[in-house]
RNA sequence: GGCGGUGUAGCUCAGCCGGUAGAGCAGUCGGCUCAUAUCCGAUAUGUCGGGGGUUCAAGUCCCUCCACCGCUACCA
């Protein structure tokens, strides 16, 4: 029997589960169920990443141990997976003893091989946050980086740690990508990976002495193993690595790692390199999906636009959420989540088309045959056509699902559902009902509909398993595999109950979005007929958000190795700040010094050419992009606000 | 700047190896009554981002420009 090993990332317990976690996990679950229906023996792994400084600190803040903190969050994940009908084989935690042992073994093995070596890590360390900031962080005038969390300057720190010899794997990785062009799906992501590796790989520091909450380095208890070496290893330790367990032999290498695009590099570059270093086989494929956006923006805790699946679960069954997420988003692209879109999709496709089809067919079988077919059906070409259409549908849907294009597959299934609804209207069974001679025809029509429903139901089952099981119950059919369903000529059915009760959009928006979602998207606001400023017009309040002040240029210099950039130091009265402007081709530093200009003072800082630019200079721009800096009357005080 | 992607009906998107535009939703009109006020049919709207080129024929190939997005070591 062929096997299929699939994983989600392990989720960081610093965050409580949200729709993004749900998306990845539902996708993996649907794929698992699909592979099962195809006859594969599957192993589905998910879990949590529990180590690291953030956990250490937030546990400290709550006055509990990191493990207790993790235990609590883990329960929330498991609860959500239970509610969403996620059927995993193992929920691994990086604090599991076998994982810890496995990571240590892996570390030791690569160390002995020589691809892990001790060295010094130099980084920009934030004392108050007790952590390193990334190289991409903005830089202060002193040359030190600025910590994104607290805004304080960092200091350059050197600490002893272990490095992984990632640089040695550049060629081998590129070869691997070349030989396995399908390794990363969708293909566009593969290009990103290849170009990243081609730019050159630096060795990776994989341990920390500043972090205590982690897997200790074997024989060097001062050090703990840092995030990625620890976390990625879960995919093999879950199967029993380093022991030659039956699971490991049967399921490794993984057939599919599913993840969101933000952790692509770690899975597509670091992970294969680690495995090569350990002489292990590489995963076969990695499926990268996009993000769910809210109001066109990435959901984030700080933005407060995170979508909690529990709100939807109050109104809709888990299958509705599963269906929507799989149906709505194209394979690798970001998708926008809107409640309006959600309700419309569920009400039209699942309620009106699919559930109502089942309801009307079930109703007729009950009324006209008392739920039991006599077995005297008189079939015509129309019924045979329905069967043939189904077989064609199944081929297409399976190949879509095989390519993980669930949106396409589900779309095709709905076409078939529409086809069935049309068939009912065309055959007009209610007109046959009263006529004795047409009973065999009526039986043929309804039976064929039940068969078609059961068949389509099997295709839907990986995505909406719970309602699929109910449909099987309604029609007394146990088989979960694919194919044209034939329960026999004399089969009996049960009474059918509503599958996806209609949710009234008005009620949903009135009750739910008011309390739980203080800022509905513009579209939804319009649905609620709230007043809106006309397109292209901003309100006075919106205008007031922009803080423009008069500033005096204290110093100006060209940014080295650029043609267009000037680095300006300006005095705004309340502070002195640096900003970068792309005006060097038209203005010399000399003519700007001491001049008064207008700057946007509350613009989000950006790092340009390694310089943090806090604000932007206001200038008119002609169609060629040439800037014209307005002249400010000499007597204007520095710090004056424009309005 | 480099590499990649996207730009098609009001909205969300299909359109493979080129043959004079499609679906769903929303809108309008009509039909049915078995069904969760559900279903079925018909129907308006598009210079397929702009410009140029190849071709008998181009959303579909080539060039170029614009906008937006992703990765990345630079024009806020």
What CATH number is given to the structural domain containing A42? 3.40.50.620
Spatial distance from the CA of A371 to the C1' of B45 (Å)? 48
Mean pLDDT, 10 residues at a time, chain A of 643 residues: 94 87 93 95 96 88 92 95 96 96 95 92 70 65 64 76 92 90 84 85 88 91 89 95 93 93 90 94 91 69 70 91 89 78 91 96 95 93 93 90 88 93 94 91 96 96 96 90 91 93 84 48 30 38 64 76 71 76 74 80 64 73 64 76 71
pLDDT of residue A505: 84
In a domain, A331, yes or no: no
Strand B closer than 7 A to residue A355 Cβ: yes
pTM of the predicted model over 0.90: no
Quote the CA–CA distance of A85 and A29 in Å, as a whole number.
8
pLDDT of residue A546: 66
pLDDT of residue A245: 94
Using the CA of A199, give the nucleotide whose C1' is nearest.
Answer: B72
Spatial distance from the CA of A635 to the C1' of B12 (Å)? 55
Task: Domain count for chain A, please give it.
Answer: 3
Using the CA of A497, give the nucleotide whose C1' is nearest.
Answer: B36
Do A65 and A146 lie in one domain? The reply is yes
In a domain, A41, yes or no: yes
* Burial of A129 per CB tally in 10 Å (0-12, 13-18, 19+): middle
Do A465 and A553 lie in one domain? The reply is no
pLDDT of residue A513: 53
Spatial distance from the CA of A170 to the C1' of B67 (Å)? 36
Spatial neighbors of A640 by CB under 8 A, at least 6 apart, are A549, A550
Do A178 and A261 lie in one domain? The reply is yes
* Boundary of a domain, candidates A474, A494, A520: A474
Do A302 and A400 lie in one domain? The reply is no
Do A266 and A367 lie in one domain? The reply is no
* Boundary of a domain, candidates A474, A504, A520: A474
The DSSP symbol for A145 reads B
| Terminal-residue alpha carbon distance, chain A | 73
Positions 521-560 of A with beta carbon below 7 A from strand B are 559
pLDDT of residue A610: 59
Strand B closer than 7 A to residue A627 Cβ: no
Count Cα neighbours of A551 within 13 Å in the Cβ-side half-sphere.
29
In a domain, A523, yes or no: no
pLDDT of residue A292: 81
pLDDT of residue A14: 85
Using the CA of A357, give the nucleotide whose C1' is nearest.
Answer: B35
Strand B closer than 7 A to residue A582 Cβ: yes
* SS3 per-residue string spanning A78-135: HHHHHHCCCCCCEEEECCCHHHHHHHHHHHHHHHHHCCEEEEEEEEEEECCCCEEECC
Strand B closer than 7 A to residue A421 Cβ: yes
C-alpha angle A316/A320/A324, rounded to 5°? Answer: 130
Do A257 and A351 lie in one domain? The reply is no
Do A366 and A294 lie in one domain? The reply is no
Quote the CA–CA distance of A562 and A455 in Å, as a whole number.
64
pLDDT of residue A589: 75
In a domain, A203, yes or no: yes
The residue segments making up the domain with residue A455 are 338-474
pLDDT of residue A340: 84
In a domain, A380, yes or no: yes
In a domain, A509, yes or no: no
Spatial distance from the CA of A183 to the C1' of B54 (Å)? 36
Using the CA of A411, give the nucleotide whose C1' is nearest.
Answer: B24
Spatial distance from the CA of A419 to the C1' of B18 (Å)? 32
pLDDT of residue A234: 96
pLDDT of residue A594: 80
In a domain, A333, yes or no: no
pLDDT of residue A93: 96
DSSP A186-241: SHHHHHHHHHHHHT----EE-EESS--SSEEETTEEEEEE-HHHHHHTHHHHTTTT
Using the CA of A426, give the nucleotide whose C1' is nearest.
Answer: B40
Quote the CA–CA distance of A408 and A414 in Å, as a whole number.
10
Residue nearest to nucleotide B72 (CA to C1'): A196
Spatial distance from the CA of A306 to the C1' of B67 (Å)? 29
Task: Select from A373, A315, A263, A313 the least CA-distant residue to A502.
Answer: A315
Do A34 and A129 lie in one domain? The reply is yes
* Boundary of a domain, candidates A286, A307, A328: A307
Quote the CA–CA distance of A114 and A604 in Å, as a whole number.
45
Positions 211-240 of A with beta carbon below 7 A from strand B are none
Do A255 and A130 lie in one domain? The reply is yes
Strand B closer than 7 A to residue A315 Cβ: no
Asked whether the beta carbons of A277 and A206 are under 8 A apart, the reply is no
Strand B closer than 7 A to residue A91 Cβ: no
Do A7 and A84 lie in one domain? The reply is yes
Positions 110-139 of A with beta carbon below 7 A from strand B are 136
Q: Given the DSSP bridges, would you call strands A256-260 and A286-289 parallel, antiparallel or unpaired? A: parallel
Do A569 and A465 lie in one domain? The reply is no
Do A397 and A303 lie in one domain? The reply is no
Nucleotides of B under 7 A from a protein CB: 2-5, 12-14, 24-26, 31-41, 69-76
């Amino acid at each position: 029997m062929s096997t299929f090993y699939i994983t989600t990332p392990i989720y960081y317990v610093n965050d409580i589960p949200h729709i993004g976690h749900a998306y990845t996990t539902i996708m993996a679950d649907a794929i698992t169920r699909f592979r099962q229906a195809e006859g594969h023996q599957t192993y589905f792994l998910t879990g949590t990443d529990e180590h690291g400084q953030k956990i250490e600190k937030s546990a400290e803040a709550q006055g509990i141990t990191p493990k207790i903190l993790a235990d609590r969050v883990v329960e929330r994940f498991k609860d959500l997976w239970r509610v969403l009908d996620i059927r995993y084989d193992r929920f691994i935690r990086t604090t599991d003893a076998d994982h810890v042992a496995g990571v240590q073994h892996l570390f030791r093995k690569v160390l002995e091989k020589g691809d892990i070596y001790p060295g010094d890590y130099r980084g920009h360390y934030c004392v108050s946050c007790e952590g390193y900031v990334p190289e991409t962080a903005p830089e202060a005038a002193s040359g030190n980086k600025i910590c994104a969390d607290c805004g304080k300057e960092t200091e350059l720190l050197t600490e002893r740690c272990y490095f992984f010899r990632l640089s040695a794997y550049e060629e081998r990785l590129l070869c691997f990508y070349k030989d396995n062009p399908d390794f990363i799906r969708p293909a566009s992501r593969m290009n990103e990976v290849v170009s990243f590796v081609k730019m050159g790989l630096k060795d990776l520091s994989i341990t920390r002495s500043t972090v205590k909450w982690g897997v200790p380095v074997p024989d060097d208890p001062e050090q703990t193993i840092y995030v990625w070496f620890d976390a990625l290893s879960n995919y093999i330790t879950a199967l029993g690595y380093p022991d030659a367990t039956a699971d490991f032999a049967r399921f490794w290498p993984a057939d599919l790692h599913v993840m969101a695009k933000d952790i692509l590099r770690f899975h597509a570059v670091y992970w294969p390199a680690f495995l090569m270093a350990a002489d292990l086989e590489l995963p076969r494929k990695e499926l990268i999906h996009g993000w769910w956006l809210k109001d066109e923006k990435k959901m984030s805790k700080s933005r407060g636009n995170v979508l909690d699946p529990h709100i939807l679960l109050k109104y809709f069954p888990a299958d509705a959420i599963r269906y929507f997420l799989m149906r709505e988003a194209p394979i690798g692209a970001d998708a926008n989540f809107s409640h309006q879109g959600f309700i419309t999709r569920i009400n039209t496709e699942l309620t009106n088309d699919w559930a109502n089809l089942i309801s009307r067919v079930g109703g007729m079988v009950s009324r006209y045959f008392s739920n039991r077919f006599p077995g005297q059906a008189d079939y015509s070409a129309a019924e045979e056509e329905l069967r043939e259409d189904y077989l064609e549908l199944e081929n297409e849907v399976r190949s879509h699902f095989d390519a993980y294009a669930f949106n396409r597959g589900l779309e095709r299934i709905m076409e078939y559902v529409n086809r069935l609804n049309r068939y009912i209207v065309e055959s007009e069974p209610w007109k046959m009902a009263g006529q004795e001679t047409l009973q065999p025809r009526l039986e043929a029509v309804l039976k064929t509909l039940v068969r078609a429903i059961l068949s389509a139901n099997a295709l839907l089952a990986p995505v909406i398993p719970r309602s699929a099981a109910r449909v099987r119950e309604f029609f007394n059919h146990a088989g979960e595999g694919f194919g044209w369903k034939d329960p026999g000529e004399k089969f009996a059915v049960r009474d059918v109950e509503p599958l996806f009760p209609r949710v009234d959009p008005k009620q949903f928006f009135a009750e739910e979005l008011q309390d739980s979602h203080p800022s509905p998207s513009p579209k939804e606001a319009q649905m609620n007929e709230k007043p809106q400023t006309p397109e292209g017009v901003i309100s006075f309040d919106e205008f007031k958000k922009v803080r423009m002040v008069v500033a005096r240029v204290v110093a100006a210099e060209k940014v080295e190795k650029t043609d267009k950039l000037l680095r300006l130091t300006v005095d705004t009265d309340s502070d002195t700040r640096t900003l970068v402007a792309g005006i060097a081709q038209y203005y010399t530093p000399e003519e700007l010094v001491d001049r008064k200009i207008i700057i946007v003072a509350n613009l989000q800082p950006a790092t340009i050419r390694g310089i943090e630019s806090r604000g932007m200079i206001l200038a008119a721009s002609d169609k060629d992009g040439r800037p014209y800096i307005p002249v400010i009357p000499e007597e204007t005080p520095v710090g004056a606000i424009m309005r």
